[in-house]
Amino acid sequence: MATTTNYSWTTPDDTALVKDGASAIRSLGTAIDTTTKNLNPSTTLGDIEYRSSTTNTNTRLGIGSTGQVLTVAGGVPSWATPTASTPAFVGVSCTNTAGTTQSISTATWTAITFNAEDFDTDSFHSTSSSTSRITIPAGKAGKYLLTSHVYLDSSSGTGRRFGSFYKNGAEAQVARVEVAVSTGTYIGMVNTIILNLAVADYVEVYFYQSSGGTLSTAGEVCSFQAQYLGA
């Protein structure tokens, strides 16, 4: 007797004498029916079949519940409820210790320094060297939200007051803000921008005043933050 190529169904040879044609047809039909059923074990709306470890046999996976997702467990497909996760925060907030001040010379763009941190998830900032800089670490290139708060002695009501973000030593585009001068104790300036930053890029907060004399920052209330938004 001959057999089929894929499923080894028994069939008569070309030269075989078929004594009972009905029986031969039934045998072949039963083989076809069994193989087809093994390849299509579904019984219910929404069923999915996947290849099992048994040759020419599929396994039925019943439909999952509302909200579940198709996943893999133990090397086979399965339905599971997705686990909610909150992305880990990545960023830094720099500030200064109480009583810290910084002199800002007139008519000179000056980088604001920070000797303390509220938090720093990935060593963006150093409190001992290049303290004005936030530097992008390996694996964290992408878009960043930058925010700065600078408070400056405004005892002189003359001249102008500017703040800006610098990237790699040069002023970032559309990053400059200006506040009106007035005679008083301090004036505050808030600035924010989103920049695309590569690994090893560094950003700084710069301030400019043209009062004609030296002014000082109220360092402990100055701050500089960077928050990673994504690639």
Are 78 and 132 found together in one domain?
A: no
Tens digits of per-residue pLDDT, 42-87?
A: 788 888 888 888 877 788 899 999 999 999 998 899 999 998 888 8
Of 4-18, 36-50, 98-112, 173-187, the range with the lowest mean pLDDT is 4-18
pLDDT attached to residue 2: 67
Are 76 and 135 found together in one domain?
A: no
149 burial (CB, 10 Å; 0-12 / 13-18 / 19+) is middle
Question: 197, 165 in Cβ contact below 8 A?
Answer: no
pLDDT attached to residue 118: 97
Kindly tell me if the per-residue pLDDT of 15 is higher than 80: no
Are 96 and 78 found together in one domain?
A: no
How much of the chain, in percent, has pLDDT values that exceed 90? Answer: 57
In this prediction, residue 186 has a pLDDT band, given cuts at 50, 70 and 90, of confident
Are 35 and 58 found together in one domain?
A: no
pLDDT attached to residue 16: 65
* CA distances, 29 to each of 23, 34, 49, 63 (Å): 10, 9, 23, 31
User: Which is more confident, 164 or 186?
Assistant: 164
Are 188 and 224 found together in one domain?
A: yes
Kindly tell me if the per-residue pLDDT of 35 is higher than 90: no
Are 98 and 122 found together in one domain?
A: yes
pLDDT attached to residue 9: 62
3-state secondary structure at position 225: strand
Helix, strand, coil shares of the chain, percent, nearest 5, are 10, 40, 50
How many domains is the chain partitioned into structurally? 3
Are 57 and 165 found together in one domain?
A: no
Are 69 and 159 found together in one domain?
A: no
Quick one: average pLDDT of 100-108?
Answer: 94
pLDDT attached to residue 127: 97
Question: 164, 171 in Cβ contact below 8 A?
Answer: yes
pLDDT attached to residue 134: 98
pLDDT attached to residue 55: 79
User: Which is more confident, 115 or 10?
Assistant: 115
Quick one: average pLDDT of 183-196?
Answer: 88
Are 204 and 113 found together in one domain?
A: yes
Are 99 and 180 found together in one domain?
A: yes
Tens digits of per-residue pLDDT, 83-99?
A: 888 889 999 999 999 98
Are 149 and 124 found together in one domain?
A: yes
User: What distance in Å separates the CA atoms of residue 43 and residue 191, rounded to the nearest whole number?
Assistant: 63
User: What distance in Å separates the CA atoms of residue 183 and residue 186, rounded to the nearest whole number?
Assistant: 9
**Beta-strand pair 69-73/76-80:** antiparallel
- Domain of 20 in residue numbering reads as 1-39
CATH number of the CATH domain containing 209: 2.60.120.40
pLDDT attached to residue 20: 65
pLDDT attached to residue 25: 67
In the chain the beta strands, taken as DSSP E runs, fall at 2-3, 10-11, 48-51, 58-61, 69-73, 76-80, 91-95, 101-104, 110-111, 116-120, 134-135, 142-153, 161-167, 170-171, 177-179, 186-197, 202-209, 215-218, 223-230
Tens digits of per-residue pLDDT, 113-157?
A: 999 999 999 999 999 999 999 999 999 999 999 999 999 887 677
Question: 192, 224 in Cβ contact below 8 A?
Answer: no
Are 155 and 219 found together in one domain?
A: yes
Residue 118, phi-psi category: left (phi > 0), alpha (psi -120 to 50), beta (remainder)? alpha
Amino acid at 68: Q
Average pLDDT, the chain: 87
